[in-house]
Amino acid sequence: MVVGYGNPLRQDDGMGLRAAEILEGNGIDVLRCHQLTPDLAADIADSQVAVFLDAAADLEPGAIRCTEVACEPGGAWTHHFTPGQLLRFTAAIFGRAPRAVLITGGAFALDFSEGLTDGGEQCAQRMAEAALLVIGSQLQPCGV
């Protein structure tokens, strides 16, 4: 299961969505959403691995970071989660949660505008490639 999320109205904040779009049609379950919400728990509960794709403002533009996600505490009354909070919620509701990886790409621009920058498009491509490596290796180091 791949979950790409972000805001397509904030330029490169939409990189996770674009990376997920690239992966559609490859025999992979793909979800694209604005943010991680509690209802996604039902979608990821039976997955062997969940790969989350998101843009990051704290990375050098164009850089890719691949980190394993662990369950983390979160507020019970929130309308959006981090990947770790979604995993914990999934485990609490369904009694299990998949192993998970968060792949983030460093944003070049986060201004109010539709469409990725050229660098953001290239980064989204590399994020999709990293997701394929993670899925293919079942969470062995993804080499990015």
pLDDT, tens digit (0-9, with 9 covering 90-100), for 6-46: 999 999 999 999 999 999 988 899 999 999 999 999 999 99
Write out pLDDT tens, residues 50-70: 999 999 999 999 999 999 999
Residues 6+ apart with CB under 8 A from 38: 78, 79, 81, 86, 89
pLDDT for 140? 47
Where are the chain's structural domains? 2-137
Fold of 2-137: Rossmann fold (3.40.50)
